Every structure is written in C-alpha cells, then in structure tokens.
Amino acid sequence: MYNQLERLPREQLRELQNKQLQQMVSYVYERVPFYRAQLELNGILPEDIRSVADLPRLPFTRKQALKDHYPFGLLAVPREQVIRIHASSGTTGKATVVCYTRNDIELFSEVMARSFIAAGARPGMLLHNAYGYGLFTGGLGTHYGAEKLGMTVVPVSGGMTQRQITLILDFKPEVICCTPSYAQTLGEEFKKLGIAPDELGLKYALLGAEPWTEAIRADVDANLGVRSTNLYGLSEIIGPGVSQECIEERVGSHIWEDHFYPEIVDAKSGEPLADGQEGVLIFTHLTREAMPLLRYWTGDITYLTHEPCPCGRTHVKMGPIRGRADDMLIIRGINLYPTQVEEVLMGIPDVVPHYQVIVERKSTLDEVEVKVEVTEDLMRTLAQETLSEDSIEADAQARTLRNQIQYAIKSTIGLNMKVSLVPPGTIPRSEGGKLRRVVDMRIF
C-alpha cells in the first residue's frame, strides 16, 4: 500500500528535491511579480539556488504577504486555470485565500490518500468525515483523499452531534476524521449513552487542526476504541495532508517532503536549527502550480527528526505542535504554551484532559488560573462545594490534589498558577470546530 516515493532512499529524495526546487524558483521568478521583486531585492537570481542547502539565502514569506495580495495577487497561473478556492477565516481582517489548479487538487488528493494509508485506513473502509466542509480545507481535502484511496465517504461535516452519533451507530465506520477536541466530545456522548467502545466498530482516527497531546490521545483511544494519529496541515501549504503520523510508530508525523520541503528556524533570529531543536516550522512548495510559496513562515512551533522510522518511510518526521508562535503566552517573563499545562495534567490521576487556562492582570501582575475537571470516580467521593479553593470546607482530598497540580506546574513550567477543580462536564466542549483552551483577559 505504499507509494514508492515515501520510501525513496534519502540521497535520491534529496536529488529530487534539489531539482524540484531549482524549477520552482525559476517558475515563481517568471510568474509572480512579488517573488521576482523579493529575489531582486536580495540580489538573487534563480540559478543561484541550486539545492535545498541554498534556501536560507531566500527571505521568508509571511502570512502578511497573502493578505497584502488578497485575493489573487500571488497567483502563478491565469485565474481561469484555478478550479478551487479555499480561504481560512482570520478572526480579524480579510481571510487568507488559497487557490488550486487541477494538478494541485490531484496533489492534495494524493498526499491525503497517503496520509489515510499511513493512519491505517484501506480501500473499502467507511469514513465518517466530521471535518468542516466549505471554505475550510479540512472537509474537502480529506474527502478527495479518501475517495482517491477508494474508501466509502460519509461527508457529515462538523456539528449536530446527535446526528453524528446516530450515523456512527448505524453505518459502523472504521475510520473517523475530526478535531481531537471533537473526538473527545463524541467519546463522552457514547459514554453517556452507555455504549462501549468495542460496540462502535471504529478502528482509526485521523485527528488534526489543533494542537493536542498524548493525554488527549489516550482519552480518545479509550473512549472511541480507536488508534488515533495526528494529521497535520495548513491551507497555505495545501490543507490537511502536509504530514501524518504512521500507525506503526505514532511518534512524529512524516512530512510528505517530495512536495513540501520543511525547515525549522529560530523564532527570533530566523536562523536554521538542527534536528530535535524546537523552532518555527517553514515550508517551501516544490510542486504546487497555482500559488506556490517559498519559505512560508507557518508560525507553528515544533522540531524535526531524521531518525529512521521502523515503518520504512524515509520522509522526515515532525514532532507534535507545541503551539503557534502567536499563541505563546508570556506570563511574568516566562514563555508558556497551553500544551505544556496539558502535559503536566496528563501525569496526574484523578483529573481528565478537559481544562482551561485563564490569564488575568490583577494590578500589575499577570495571574494564571488553571481550571481542570476531576474524574467521575473522584467526584463521587467529593461534595461539589468543596472543590473551590475558597471553600472553607475544602475537602482534604481536593486540597491535596490541587497542591499536587500546583507543585507539578511550578516545577516543570516555573510558574505559580491558581488551580481550580471543577466537576466533570463543566468546561466548554468542542462543537466540531477548533477549541480555544486559553482565555486571555489581559488588556495590553
């Protein structure tokens, strides 16, 4: 079930990438005024870029460039050759528009089909696709990839949880695609209905579109009866299918680097970083037609590893996304990603991976509160009013647990945080879209 390109020996892969990159730099120089100007500004001619080792000579492409050239200013082909447009909605200002030629859509389907295979899916399996359909790339990207592989696709999209539950029970899908937080929501619903995971028949889950951790993986695997893997992507590069964890290892996601060349650079200096070092993930398109980007600054924080993978795929792996460079909170001078809090909570029994981080500024100091749900089991032994830190009757067990979490956070992250225990099911759940686990109430 492998595409031979996924197992190409590293030297041959490198040769292919060098050739593709040379062609790509000439292509955008000739067709995209923005890139011609960028290269000229830096005194670079297309023939100066001979291999991927020359990439650091090129400037980064920031998201701002896409906004500045909204909607079609970065097109390398006449608009008539574009057969699909997607857009990611920014919370402020104009959307980021991405365009696809017929070959780009074929490429999108190909990398998504590869991702499905890596995740355990096979032709003939039934897919419950709960990614949102529409301008967002998630739904249609996975849809075309699954059809290319020969799966049976149920394009249910996000939301309307009761209908999703019914369809899963009636159709018995083997594979599900959704955000990790929505997979948690579905798992809880089945639990409430008293339906055991092995009654569902689900085997594999491709989860993505938001950062997640091993704690959430364990939760989803247990409640849905699946082996879940990470599916990564972003619309500017293609959508989902930029990288995918292999079911054999489930440690790191293989980047389909015969199409998307990755680098990791320092968030401040922009200097390239070595394997294993955390920094900003950068991608250069090697094969896109409609809107290729050179050294695109994703803002996602992770690391790369070239260590051989037992699955036999030779493509480089990226670690889990720590967060987005712009999601990083600076609390009293210390950098904090919400996933760090999640990792700490994962090591503590009696709490479940549903949490919220609330940041407030009281007088001049930033204060952080972590709200975390206790397990059903623990809740049965506690009275609800004893959970709050301010309660005089605070239960000794609850107090011990709070102290344990506080200490673990202080010793791993280096910050004092207020910890509040809340009853199961009280923290807002995902409705199918992306979930924000951080509430920053500071006014800058």
Pick the piece of the chain touching Zn ion (CB under 5 A) from 53-61, 69-77, 239-247, 394-402.
Answer: 239-247
Give yes or no for a contact between 154 and 185, defined as CB atoms under 8 angstroms apart: no
> Could you say which residues in the range 385-444 bind Zn ion, by CB under 5 A?
none
Quote the least distance from Cβ 246 to Zn ion, whole Å. Answer: 3
Among 24, 186, 246, 422, binds Zn ion (CB under 5 A): 246
Strand-pair category, 204-208 with 227-234? parallel
Return the number of the residue (191 or 250) whose C-beta is nearest Zn ion: 250
Nearest by Cα to 17 from 42, 46, 43, 52: 52
User: How far apart are the C-alpha atoms of 249 and 311, rounded to whole Å?
Assistant: 7
**Residue 213 in tokens:** 């951790």
Return the number of the residue (2 or 407) whose C-beta is nearest Zn ion: 2
Return the number of the residue (6 or 219) whose C-beta is nearest Zn ion: 6
Amino acid identity at 48: D
Beta bridge partners of 421: 372
Q: Which helix (H) or strand (E) holds 141?
A: helix 137-149
Binding characters for Zn ion, 195-234, by CB under 5 A (x = yes) = ----------------------------------------
How far is residue 255 CA from its own chain's centroid? 13
Strand-pair category, 304-305 with 317-318? antiparallel
Return the number of the residue (305 or 406) whose C-beta is nearest Zn ion: 305
Quote the least distance from Cβ 313 to Zn ion, whole Å. Answer: 5
Q: What is the dihedral of CA 195, 196, 201, 204, to 10 degrees?
A: 110
Return the number of the residue (313 or 354) whose C-beta is nearest Zn ion: 313
Q: Does 119 bind Zn ion (CB under 5 A)?
A: no
Quote the least distance from Cβ 242 to Zn ion, whole Å. Answer: 15
Quote the least distance from Cβ 249 to Zn ion, whole Å. Answer: 5
Binding characters for Zn ion, 247-266, by CB under 5 A (x = yes) = --x-----------------
Quote the least distance from Cβ 51 to Zn ion, whole Å. Answer: 25
Quote the least distance from Cβ 231 to Zn ion, whole Å. Answer: 14
User: How far apart are the C-alpha atoms of 150 and 153, rounded to whole Å?
Assistant: 9
Give yes or no for a contact between 37 and 28, defined as CB atoms under 8 angstroms apart: no
Binding characters for Zn ion, 273-312, by CB under 5 A (x = yes) = ------------------------------------x-x-
Quote the least distance from Cβ 72 to Zn ion, whole Å. Answer: 38
Residue 272 DSSP code:
B
Residue whose entry in the numeric block shows the structure tokens 């070092």 = 277
Return the number of the residue (167 or 311) whose C-beta is nearest Zn ion: 311
Quote the least distance from Cβ 143 to Zn ion, whole Å. Answer: 25
Return the number of the residue (246 or 282) whose C-beta is nearest Zn ion: 246
Give yes or no for a contact between 235 and 225, defined as CB atoms under 8 angstroms apart: no
**Residue 308 in tokens:** 């051989």
Phi–psi pair at 261, nearest 5 degrees: -90, 120
Interface with Zn ion: number of residues (CB under 5 A): 5
First-last CA distance in the chain: 53
Return the number of the residue (114 or 371) whose C-beta is nearest Zn ion: 114
Binding-site ranges for Zn ion (CB under 5 A): 246, 249, 309, 311, 313
